[in-house]
């Protein structure tokens, strides 16, 4: 066991407090390959060719579940819980998909072991699903347990495929190293315990393969890090091991100026600061899971987003000090499925503590708030949250303010759906007048109604809430303006 670690920093509440570094550090590269990069045997061969090119003495490879597998696992437990016996067909489909990959990656004479292991994992999964089917029990703990099979299966297969392609490696189970709370589906990581487990217990091997997404609570239950969470797994390993670099490989050439599925003119951004990347990810750039950045900032590790299917493209470099860019606006993100909730009434004016009560009521329900605005007259507060949390938030807030609503000091809480948040992000917007004005007038000229506006105190982000029917058009108008039609408009002050 590697025990040669010194305390790195002993100050403050910063996650760096928990980091330590090896006495004799060897260059270390952490790579994460997403679902599309392990989708089938061809994709896995492609990722093998990428690794064979690397001349790195130590590497740790994190893999996601094969593309669509996590979604299928969710359908599996939903069907089982609904007493729909066709869950068995889904199980068969999943097993066939994994077995086919093995048949194409591993020589016939050597398939017995790995096929046996995969079969055993499937029988275990079948037992869990039968339990759900028979007992009508579907807790979050059971959901997490089922979802974790995707990464458990893919990492087994990738590890064996590596062995047969000149990449001897050691497979680990990330649940042994990532400790979380019991919030099963969106578990919060105990950084101190996790870094200690990784630094003290990871095997000394030149190449380690680890499943992403999966973790374990202190009381030994399987948890998962939230949809898209394998990126975060990789950044935790990178931070704990003081990697020189983290590479996240997916199916696009890095972080684009906007979602390439929403705007055909989107293109890959060369460099971003950690803060810019975090804002773009938080507001919907799916290529990067938002919590991924924090461990890297604390450990000062750069991140590159690369394309498995176009490895020659240099991708996007995310670091503390990106090269200066003429672009003030770096990217535009969009989150759909948002609900806008408003608390209003004359009874709020000049009354201290209203905002505190509102946020507390929402926080108790563990609901995440994307967006907050308060009218300057203090007559209303508007928050944006995920559509799925809308009704729960209305109930919690209505209960908190029941007395005030009864006395007609406040109006009944209002909820609007389906809404979207469009965010314009860039460090160059700081102290740069005119960008917000241009964005608002552009949307106004095209008769797109802005329901609410917020600008972060850092001036790095302006976000607007609008009707989902208008969101796609808004993203394209803003993208055309800032990146295509008049690219210099974002470089120069806008009149
Ligand atoms: N701003 C953006 N830049 C790049 N990709 C984005 C952006 N916004 C959304 N995406 C989507 O993110 C996808 C990659 O993320 P994801 O599907 O999670 O990949 P993986 O499964 O490889 O982890 C891309 O195919 C792209 O459609
Ligand atoms: N498989 C998990 C975790 C993940 O990060 O996947 P991907 O890297 O394919 O986004 C999910 O689908 O949420």
Please determine, for residue 116, whether its predicted confidence score (pLDDT) is greater than 90.
Answer: yes
State which ligand 2 atom lies nearest to the alpha carbon of 65: 1
Q: How many domains does the chain have?
A: 2
- Which range marks the domain in which residue 23 is found? 5-252+287-319
The DSSP element (H or E) to which 198 belongs, if any, is helix 191-201
Average pLDDT over residues 299-326: 95
Nearest to 137 by CA among 129, 127, 126, 145: 129
Q: How many other C-beta atoms are found inside a 10 Å radius of the C-beta of residue 445?
A: 9
Cβ of 200 less than 6 Å from ligand 1: no
Give the ipTM of the model, two decimals please.
Answer: 0.98
The DSSP element (H or E) to which 437 belongs, if any, is helix 435-445
- Reported confidence tier of residue 490, pLDDT bands at 50, 70, 90: very low
Q: Burial of 282 by CB count in 10 Å (0-12 exposed, 13-18 middle, 19+ buried)?
A: buried
36's torsion region: left (phi>0), alpha (psi -120 to 50) or beta?
A: alpha
User: Which protein residue's CA is at the shortest distance from atom 5 of ligand 1?
Assistant: 287
Domain CATH number, residue 428: 3.30.2130.10
How far is the centre of ligand 1, averaged over its atoms, from the C-alpha of 266 (Å)? 12
How far is the centre of ligand 2, averaged over its atoms, from the C-alpha of 226 (Å)? 9
Angle between helices 111-135 and 149-163 (to 10 degrees): 180
* DSSP single-letter state for residue 313: S
- Reported confidence tier of residue 487, pLDDT bands at 50, 70, 90: very low
**CA distances (Å), origin 434, targets 279, 355, 437, 494:** 20, 30, 5, 5
- Model confidence over 280-298: pLDDT tens digits? 999 999 999 999 999 999 8
Tell me the ligand closest to 292's alpha carbon: 2
The whole model's pTM is what?
0.90
- Model confidence over 121-176: pLDDT tens digits? 999 999 999 999 998 889 999 999 999 999 999 999 999 999 999 999 999 999 99
The reply to whether 229 falls in a domain is: yes
- The answer to whether 37 touches 251, Cβ cutoff 8 Å, is yes
How far is the centre of ligand 1, averaged over its atoms, from the C-alpha of 217 (Å)? 29
Tell me the ligand closest to 69's alpha carbon: 2
- The answer to whether 384 touches 419, Cβ cutoff 8 Å, is yes
CA distance 95 to 190: 34
CA contacts within 13 A on the Cβ side of 402? 5
Average pLDDT over residues 422-449: 88
Give the angle 326-330-334 at the CA atoms, nearest 5°.
160
- The answer to whether 370 touches 363, Cβ cutoff 8 Å, is no
How far is the centre of ligand 1, averaged over its atoms, from the C-alpha of 286 (Å)? 5
Residue 152 shares a structural domain with residue 52: yes
Q: What are phi and psi of 384, to 5 degrees?
A: -110, 130
Domain CATH number, residue 294: 3.40.1160.10
pLDDT of residue 491: 42
Residue 407 shares a structural domain with residue 450: yes
Residue 115 shares a structural domain with residue 246: yes
How far is the centre of ligand 1, averaged over its atoms, from the C-alpha of 139 (Å)? 30
Average pLDDT over residues 411-428: 94
Residue 306 shares a structural domain with residue 380: no
Residue 33 shares a structural domain with residue 60: yes
Tell me which of 71, 144, 227 to substitute to probe ligand 2's pocket, judged by most ligand atoms within 8 Å of the beta carbon. Answer: 227
């Amino acid at each position: 066991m590697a025990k040669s670690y010194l305390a790195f920093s002993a100050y403050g509440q910063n996650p760096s407090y928990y980091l330590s570094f090896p006495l004799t550090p060897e260059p270390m590269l952490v790579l994460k390959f997403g679902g599309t990069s392990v989708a089938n045997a061809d994709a896995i061969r492609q990722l093998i060719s990428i690794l064979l090119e690397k001349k790195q003495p130590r590497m740790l490879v994190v893999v996601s579940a094969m593309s669509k597998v996590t979604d299928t696992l969710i359908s599996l437990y939903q069907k089982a819980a609904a007493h729909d016996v066709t869950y068995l067909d889904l199980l068969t489909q999943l097993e066939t998909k994994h077995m086919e990959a093995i048949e194409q990656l591993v020589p016939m004479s050597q398939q017995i072991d790995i096929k046996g292991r995969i079969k055993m994992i499937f029988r275990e999964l079948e037992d869990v699903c039968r339990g759900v089917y028979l007992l009508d029990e579907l807790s979050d703990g059971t959901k997490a347990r089922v979802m974790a099979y995707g990464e458990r299966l893919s990492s087994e297969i990738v590890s064996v495929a590596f062995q047969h392609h000149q990449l001897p490696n050691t497979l680990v189970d990330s649940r042994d190293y990532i400790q979380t709370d019991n919030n099963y589906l969106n578990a919060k990581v105990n950084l101190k315990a996790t870094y200690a487990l990784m630094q003290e217990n990871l095997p000394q091997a030149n190449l380690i393969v680890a499943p992403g997404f999966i973790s374990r609570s202190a009381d030994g239950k399987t948890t998962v890090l939230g949809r898209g969470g394998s990126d975060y797994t990789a950044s935790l390993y990178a931070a704990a091991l003081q990697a020189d670099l983290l590479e996240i490989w997916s199916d696009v050439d890095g972080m684009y100026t906007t979602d390439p599925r929403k705007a055909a003119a989107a293109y890959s951004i060369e460099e971003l600061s950690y803060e810019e990347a975090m804002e773009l990810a938080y507001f919907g750039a799916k290529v990067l899971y938002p919590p991924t950045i924090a461990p890297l900032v604390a450990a000062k590790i750069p991140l590159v987003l690369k394309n498995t299917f176009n490895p020659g493209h240099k991708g996007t470099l995310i670091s503390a000090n990106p090269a200066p860019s003429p672009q003030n606006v770096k990217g535009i993100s969009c989150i759909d499925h948002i609900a806008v909730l408003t608390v209003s009434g004359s009874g709020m004016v000049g009354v201290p503590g209203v905002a505190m009560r509102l946020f507390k009521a929402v926080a108790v329900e563990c609901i995440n708030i994307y967006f907050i605005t308060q009218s300057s007259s203090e007559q209303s507060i508007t928050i944006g949250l995920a559509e799925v949390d809308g009704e729960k938030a209305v109930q919690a807030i209505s209960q908190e303010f029941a007395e005030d609503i009864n006395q007609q000091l406040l109006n009944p809480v209002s909820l609007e759906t389906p809404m979207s948040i469009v965010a314009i992000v860039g460090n160059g917007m700081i102290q740069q007048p005119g960008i917000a004005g241009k964005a608002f007038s552009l949307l106004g000229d095209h008769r797109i109604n802005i329901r609410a506006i917020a600008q972060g105190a850092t001036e790095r982000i302006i976000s607007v809430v609008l009707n989902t029917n208008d969101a796609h058009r808004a993203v394209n108008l803003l993208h055309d303006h800032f990146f295509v039609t008049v690219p210099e408009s974002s470089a120069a002050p806008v009149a």
